[in-house]
Structure 1
Amino acid sequence: MRLLLLLLGTETLRRHWAWFVALGLVWLAAGIFIFADALDGRLYFPLRPFGWLLVTEGSLSVLLALTRIAVHPPLRLARGLLVLLAGLLIVSPWHLHDFILALVFGLFLLADGVFRIASAWVVRFPGWRLALAGGVAEFLLGVFVLEPYPTWYAGTVPGCIGIALALTGRSALLVGWRLYRLPPHASLGMLYARGHFLQRSQLELERQRVDRPSGDVLTVHVWTATGTASDPLCRPLVDRYIAAVDKKGVISTGHAALELPPDIYISHYPAVEIDHSPTDFTRMLRATSENDMPGRFQPSYREEAAEWCESTAKIRFRRFDGERVRRFWEMYRQDATYNLTNRNCSSVVAQALEIALEGTLARSGRGLGHVLRILFSTEFWAAAIVRKHAESMAWTPGFVLDYARNLRALENPPPLSLRGMLAAMRTNWRHRQVLKRRQQRDRALA
């Protein structure tokens, strides 16, 4: 929901705040009804048609991945296989399919709940008590899904759908009310900011409608933890999203920066290098005020790269609002306070990127079809998951890298229609035939 709102922007959303309230009421009522229906022993929810819908959607996603239409084929393939498997289990006459679905959903809810509880307790970011309560609620929901009472797993799928609809409806209601109360030029990217520097008066970022010269590029630079560590130990998920540790026990967290020529370079760094020993690093994970320290802002990418090393990855954007980025950076740099898990290099880059992309979907002028393509794209789904986990823990260079790559892919999402998929398959087949004929001709000439 938040990612969709950011891409639409307040200029469009303020005109339709009443629709969010109405939609929230409908979704909330539908969610409560579906959840109650799943528990009363008599199921009215069209479960098998819903299963076939998942089978169709999963099959199309797999085909899109195999035809290389997707920007990230492995990601789309994994999502398509999961959806396809869930749909096949729902429509399957196998008597254990309800139990398997409940086991999968329940274990996922338990694992995600434990992750949210642990990250909130360790990091202690602003609003951590609310996040902790949400993690406990998710854990209890997982326990509820795993135990057989009262439907012996027959109501698992519609029950989870009902809960999701109810929570989404509640979010839509709150969004509608917030949109109604926001100032005319408020920035949702700043409203959703977790940093403690934000004041209410800083929500307004008036957009200056200027024609940007062609060729302007916004670049997100990421130095990954493994790319900056010397001889790191192999711990795939930890290395990617938290920190890398070398054989001497030295911890490397990586770095992130955002460059908008000619005058904007967003790179927040501690004024004094943090001791990355395991004992000190654990203490620094808390996002509380006692871990605030003086920070400094790097002058440019050339100087930072010359002082350190070239960035591991560069993600470039061509559709953005540079004036809002400049206004945000002017306000942010008034306070150089640095906090490892609450106000760091990655959090400011993620926030600046969201402000730069805020409203680009509404201003694209491509119509409803383009919006639907983005909503149903795997990259949008992946970006939302990355954002959720980063906000539940802390923004790190690994999260920024995945988030920026998925948002970059949304500029030109893959075709949504079956016609587009078939056209791409036909084009790929013709391309393979041309290559085959060329190879045969080269062998004949040889």
Structure 2
Amino acid sequence: MTDLVPTSSEITETLHDNWVWFLILGIVLIIVGIFAVAAPLASSIAVTLVLAIALIVGGAAQAIQAFRVQSSGAFIWHLLVAIAAILGGIAIYIHPLIGTLALTLVVAAVFLMQGIFQLLLALNLRRHKGWLWLLASGGVSILVALMIFTGFPASAAFVLGILAGISIAFNGWSYIAIALAAKDADPVV
């Protein structure tokens, strides 16, 4: 029976044999990330539409599951969650700009809460090396949240697109780093 988890040598060999494809993938992702940052409103709306479709598909799957467990007492709750997801997804899909506004507020709230928790954690870790980095990270998260909130609703035009673009570009850089390291790695014999 073949082991489902590849060994380190199998991974090294696969990376070495396919390093060019990883490099191409990285370059493509960086280009896509740059386009997302360059056209933040279009990217923000695209992110919103992807979320809407995910809610609709996820809600449909939840509805199917609700009917599969119909005999249990939780049927109605499963069905209500499914309906909420489907209706929410449809509403966002029909009105993507309103969905983008709502998602921007959610992102700002997440940054704010993350920043507060990072600050509290940093203060608890004052006796350990590196705690100032966590403190700084928390401060930056709070600053970003405040910038989004104070610029709202105009910030909704670019926040999601820029965040998505940066994330995609960094994924690209990681694939390039993997590709270049794999190119120079000794293939397993």
| TM class by smaller structure | 0.5 to 0.7
Match of 1:34 among 30, 33, 36: 36
Structure having the larger proportion of residues in helix = 2
Q: Which amino acid aligns with 2:18?
A: H
Matched, 1:154 2:157: yes
C-alpha offsets along residues 340-378 of structure 1, whole Å, 9 cap, x if unaligned? xxxxxxxxxxxxxxxxxxxxxxxxxxxxxxxxxxxxxxx
Q: How many pairs were matched up? A: 169
Q: Quick check: 1:58–1:82 contact (8 Å CA) kept in 2?
A: no
TM-aligned CA deviation for residue 148 of structure 1: 2.5
Q: Which runs of 5+ in 2 are unaligned?
A: 1-5, 70-77
- With over 3 angstroms needed to count, the CA separation of the structure-2 counterparts of 1:111 and 1:125, relative to structure 1, is same
- With over 3 angstroms needed to count, the CA separation of the structure-2 counterparts of 1:110 and 1:151, relative to structure 1, is same
Partner of 2:177: 174
Q: CA RMSD in A?
A: 4.5
Partner Cα separation in structure 2 for residue 124 and residue 168 of structure 1 = 34
Q: How does 1:356-375 map to 2 (within 5 A)?
A: none
Partner of 1:102: 104
Partner Cα separation in structure 1 for residue 151 and residue 102 of structure 2 = 12
Q: Quick check: 1:109–1:141 contact (8 Å CA) kept in 2?
A: yes
Q: Which amino acid aligns with 2:168?
A: L
Q: Secondary structure at the match of 2:95?
A: coil
Q: How does 1:4-403 map to 2 (within 5 A)?
A: 9-38=11-40, 43=42, 47=46, 49-63=49-63, 65-66=65-66, 67=68, 87-88=89-90, 90-93=92-95, 96-116=98-118, 118-119=120-121, 122=125, 135-148=138-151, 151-182=154-185, 184=187
TM-aligned CA deviation for residue 64 of structure 1: 6.2
Q: Secondary structure at the match of 1:153?
A: helix
Q: Which runs of 5+ in 1 are unaligned?
A: 69-76, 186-446
C-alpha offsets along residues 143-175 of structure 1, whole Å, 9 cap, x if unaligned? 343333683423343333223212322322233
TM-aligned CA deviation for residue 96 of structure 1: 4.8
TM-aligned CA deviation for residue 176 of structure 1: 2.6
- With over 3 angstroms needed to count, the CA separation of the structure-2 counterparts of 1:137 and 1:93, relative to structure 1, is same
Partner of 1:330: none
C-alpha offsets along residues 395-438 of structure 1, whole Å, 9 cap, x if unaligned? xxxxxxxxxxxxxxxxxxxxxxxxxxxxxxxxxxxxxxxxxxxx
Larger Rg over CA atoms: 1
Partner Cα separation in structure 2 for residue 147 and residue 182 of structure 1 = 49
- With over 3 angstroms needed to count, the CA separation of the structure-2 counterparts of 1:120 and 1:177, relative to structure 1, is farther
Partner Cα separation in structure 2 for residue 117 and residue 158 of structure 1 = 27
Partner Cα separation in structure 2 for residue 31 and residue 110 of structure 1 = 25
Partner Cα separation in structure 2 for residue 130 and residue 175 of structure 1 = 26
Q: Which amino acid aligns with 1:54?
A: A
Greater relative contact order structure (CA < 8 Å, 6+ sep) = 2
C-alpha offsets along residues 294-353 of structure 1, whole Å, 9 cap, x if unaligned? xxxxxxxxxxxxxxxxxxxxxxxxxxxxxxxxxxxxxxxxxxxxxxxxxxxxxxxxxxxx
TM-aligned CA deviation for residue 123 of structure 1: 7.9
Partner of 1:226: none
What TM-score, normalized by structure 1, do the two folds share? 0.30
Q: Which amino acid aligns with 1:163?
A: I
TM-aligned CA deviation for residue 15 of structure 1: 2.1
TM-aligned CA deviation for residue 138 of structure 1: 4.2
Q: Quick check: 2:19–2:179 contact (8 Å CA) kept in 1?
A: yes
- With over 3 angstroms needed to count, the CA separation of the structure-2 counterparts of 1:123 and 1:63, relative to structure 1, is farther
Q: Quick check: 1:55–1:83 contact (8 Å CA) kept in 2?
A: yes
C-alpha offsets along residues 92-148 of structure 1, whole Å, 9 cap, x if unaligned? 439754332111111112323444455466288787666666555544443343333
Q: Quick check: 1:31–1:164 contact (8 Å CA) kept in 2?
A: yes
Q: Quick check: 2:43–2:161 contact (8 Å CA) kept in 1?
A: no
- With over 3 angstroms needed to count, the CA separation of the structure-2 counterparts of 1:110 and 1:6, relative to structure 1, is farther
Q: Which amino acid aligns with 1:101?
A: L
TM-aligned CA deviation for residue 29 of structure 1: 2.0
Structure having the larger proportion of residues in strand = 1
